Amino acid sequence: MRGWLNDGLFSIPRNSEQLNSGLFKFVNHNNRFSKGAMGEMTVQVLLAGFSAIIILNSIFFGLVLIFNSKGLLKNQLLGFLLFGIALRTGKSILMLLIPHVPDSVPAIGLVGMGAIGPLFYFYTLNLLGQRWSRQNLLHFAFSIATGLTLPFASNQVVFWLYFFSALQMAIYISVTANRIFRSHNLDDQTFRWLRLLLISISLIWVVYAIQLFYQQLGVYLTGTVVASLSLFAVLYVSLRSNRIFSKTKKQKKPEVYDDVKLLIDDMMSNRKMFTDGSLTLSKLAQALKIKPYVLSGVLNDHYGQSFPEFVNSYRIREAQVMLRSEKHQMYSIEAIAYDCGFNTPSAFYTSFKKLTKLTPAEYRARNETEEVTSRAV
């Protein structure tokens, strides 16, 4: 085990002197440069320099958003997010280009890395309409603690600090992705923007994870360039869209909401679209010829339900009718579940119990008992 620990896995470069042994020593044992080595070093320095330009632009743009946010929290959060990515990726560039970088530089980079996940998460929540709380600052405690610990840590501890920072970042990315794709009140442009951020930050995380385990110069440099290009994509798209930085306008309730409600009732009660197991918010909105966010607003305002809750309520009511019907007495509960639009019996059982406080079998048995009693009377 000890040999494995000391065999490169924990040999994360603490400073640029360790990493630059590859970048600035393309010489043979007589210190004479070959043409191939010189050319390779030139390409690598140019790539690192190109990445540095992107990082400097990101830092500048991040600071502009932080200090000139127009009073919008979402701009400040985005600014800090860009700044955090720039700190972590910029650390890699400094270690590639500048010899004898002090240990404080990796520490600053680790602080940036630990802050990326929480910042992305809270930026997304802000776009989804959730308010900021001071308690959210606790999410950044780990980032600050690791940054303060790094300069005094051994190589083994350094590895685990980076490892848990990468793990934390992965968790926040996963949770944020879940919130993005489960949300039904995002307009198309905001959804595309968050999806771009998700892809870019996920790609940057992959780079960080690879750099954690593979410290070869080529891998380290390639990863840094890829991370910089991902950051450039975010900068490019954000600068082309003023709406990203403008105040989010609350959707006004259109006067046609009442008409839409009537259309929904007709589509669900008469045409029974809920029996389609692949029914989605977008699919129903398309059938109604309205925007998904309008449909989501109607469901929230008029029914007080999310889309899954709304559809399942119709499915459960239909299941109750079938469970009471003599025509369907020979149907199994699973068959009724599928006929009502559920894709799995487990989802049907869970929704049925939630709405009726009974299992489907209990509901059917109770109904049969009531019928026998009424006939006897």
The predicted pLDDT at position 103 comes to 63
> Which CATH superfamily groups domain 257-376?
Homeodomain-like (1.10.10.60)
What pLDDT score does 7 carry? 37
Residue 74 pLDDT grade (very low, low, confident, very high; cuts 50, 70, 90): confident
Residue 16 has pLDDT above 80, yes or no: no
Query: How far separated are the first and last CA of the chain, in Å rounded?
Result: 80
Six-digit token pair at 184? 């039904």
pLDDT at position 11 = 44
- pTM for the whole structure: 0.57
Sign of CA dihedral 49, 50, 51, 52: positive
Question: For residues 206 and 170, is the Cβ–Cβ distance under 8 A?
Answer: no
Nearby residues of 14 by Cβ (< 8 Å), 6 or more positions away: 103, 106, 155, 158
pLDDT band at 374 (very low <50, low <70, confident <90, very high): low
Q: What are 360's two structure tokens?
A: 């489907």
Task: DSSP letter for 233, please.
Answer: H
* Domain ranges for the chain: 2-244, 257-376
* Cα–Cα dist 216/228, whole Å: 18
pLDDT of residue 360: 92
pLDDT at 335: 93
- pLDDT of 243-282, one tens digit each? 666 665 544 455 556 778 888 888 898 899 999 999 998 8
The predicted structure's pLDDT at residue 373: 52
Helix axis angle, 155-182 to 188-213, nearest 10°: 160
Using DSSP's 3-state secondary structure scheme, residue 33 falls into strand
Please say if the pLDDT value at position 204 is more than 90. no
Q: How confident is the model at residue 58 (pLDDT cuts 50, 70, 90)?
A: confident
- Three-state DSSP at 154 gives coil
3-state secondary structure of 27: strand
Beta partners for residue 33, in sequence order? 27
Q: Which tokens in the block code for residue 139?
A: 């999410």
- Enter the DSSP assignment of 304: -
CATH number belonging to domain 2-244: 1.20.1070
Torsion angle of alpha carbons 197, 229, 54, 144, nearest 10°?
50
> Residues 87-115: pLDDT tens digits?
888 777 777 777 676 666 677 778 888 88
Closest by Cα among 138, 130, 97, 133 to 114:
138
**Amino acid (1-letter code) at residue 19:** L
What's the average model confidence in pLDDT over 17-24? 46
- CB count, 10 Å around CB of 371? 12
- What SS3 state is found at 39? helix
